[in-house]
Structure 1
Amino acid sequence: MLYQPWPWYVSGPLIAIIMAVLILLGKKFGMSSNLETFCSVGGAGKFTDYFKIDVKSKRWNLLVVLGSVFGGFLGAHVLSPNPAVDITDETVAKLQGLGFESAGKAYLPTELFSLEALSQPMVWVILLVAGILVGFGTRYAGGCTSGHAISGLSNLQRPSLIAVIGFFIGGLIMNHLLFPLIFGS
């Protein structure tokens, strides 16, 4: 069972149980808040008041990041017999048509996320602009996809519902309009 993806009826209730415990403990789940904590730990509070926060109260959430990194590594390198993501042949063909020959063979496209790719200035530009947009969007939306979609919706927060709808619309626009414009030949 560990070597196969877990079905929704196993993983879904596990997420629900974790969220119920967090709600009962008065905690909020989300990855972007950890970036604020990391910046605060790194001394960003010396430059802006936004990062002057009580780091001790957020230590538990840093364990979530550590667990995510460890779990991702464990899942990719120990529990996965195949390092590739199982995507449809049609998607592989479309990605390969856009120049991503590693599609269907690697978890991340080596055309963007390899040491060789970092020698290309355009890759740096794409990653930098993407990082700025994700950072701005996360701050503007008041949280990230995991925080809004899991924690916010679990708390029945209307702003989280609006944010999640926006994430899906943005994802569709990126996938169908912008991605082919950026990477098309």
Structure 2
Amino acid sequence: MLYQPWPWYVAGPLIAILMALLILMGKRFGMSSNLETFCSIGGAGKFTDYFKVDIKSKRWNLLVVLGSVIGGFLGAHWLSPNPTVDISPKTVTKLQELGFDSAGKAYLPTELFSLESLSDPKVWIILLIAGFLVGFGTRYAGGCTSGHAISGLSNLQRPSLIAVIGFFIGGLIMVHLLFPLIFGS
């Protein structure tokens, strides 16, 4: 059971139970709030009041990050009998046409996320702009995709519904319009 993806009827109820427990405890789930906590730990509160937060009350969420890292490592190295990424062959073909030969073979495209790729200035520009846009978008939307889609929708928050719809529209625009422009030859 551990060596294959869990079906929706197992994973879905587990997420629902976790969200119900968090709601009952008065906690909100989201990964981007951990970035705020990391900045606060690093002393960003000395420069802007936004980062003057009670770090102790957010320690539990830092454990979520630690669990995600450990779980991802264990899943990738010991619980995955096949190290290839199981995505559509049509998607693999399209990505390979755009120069991503690692498509379907690696979790992250080595053309962007390997040490060798960091010698290419285009990769640096793409990663810096993407990082800025993700950080700005997360702050502007008041949370990340996991926070809005899982926690916000569980709490029936209208702003989260609007944010999730925006995430999907933005993802479609990126994949179908911008991605081919940026990486096409």
* TM-score for the superposition, normalised by structure 1: 0.99
- Which whole-Å CA distance do the structure 2 matches of 1:83 and 1:175 have between them? 24
The equivalent of 2:108 in structure 1 is 108
The equivalent of 2:156 in structure 1 is 156
Residue correspondence of structure 1 range 27-38 to structure 2 within 5 A? 27-38=27-38
- Which whole-Å CA distance do the structure 2 matches of 1:68 and 1:85 have between them? 18
The equivalent of 1:80 in structure 2 is 80
- Which whole-Å CA distance do the structure 2 matches of 1:9 and 1:168 have between them? 23
Deviates more, 1:79-88 or 1:124-133: 79-88
User: The residue matched to 1:111 in structure 2 has which SS?
Assistant: helix
User: The residue matched to 2:113 in structure 1 has which SS?
Assistant: coil
The equivalent of 1:44 in structure 2 is 44
The equivalent of 1:17 in structure 2 is 17
User: The residue matched to 1:166 in structure 2 has which SS?
Assistant: helix
The equivalent of 1:143 in structure 2 is 143
Look up the equivalent residue of 2:161 and give its one-letter code: L
- Which whole-Å CA distance do the structure 1 matches of 2:107 and 2:33 have between them? 26
- Which whole-Å CA distance do the structure 1 matches of 2:86 and 2:25 have between them? 37
List structure 1 segments (4+ residues) > 4 angstroms apart after TM superposition.
Answer: none
Look up the equivalent residue of 2:11 and give its one-letter code: S
The equivalent of 2:165 in structure 1 is 165
CA RMSD, Structure 1 to Structure 2 (Å): 0.5
CA deviation map 1:26-65 (0-9, x unaligned) = 0000000000000000000001110000000000000000
2:164 corresponds to 1:129: no
User: The residue matched to 1:112 in structure 2 has which SS?
Assistant: helix
CA deviation map 1:111-147 (0-9, x unaligned) = 0010111111110110000000000000000000000
Residue correspondence of structure 1 range 56-67 to structure 2 within 5 A? 56-67=56-67
* TM-score for the superposition, normalised by structure 2: 0.99
Deviation at 1:83, TM superposition (A): 2.0
CA deviation map 1:84-132 (0-9, x unaligned) = 2101110000000000001011111100010111111110110000000
- Which whole-Å CA distance do the structure 1 matches of 2:158 and 2:59 have between them? 27
Deviation at 1:81, TM superposition (A): 1.6
Look up the equivalent residue of 1:52 and give its one-letter code: K
The equivalent of 1:7 in structure 2 is 7
Unaligned runs of 5+ in 2: none
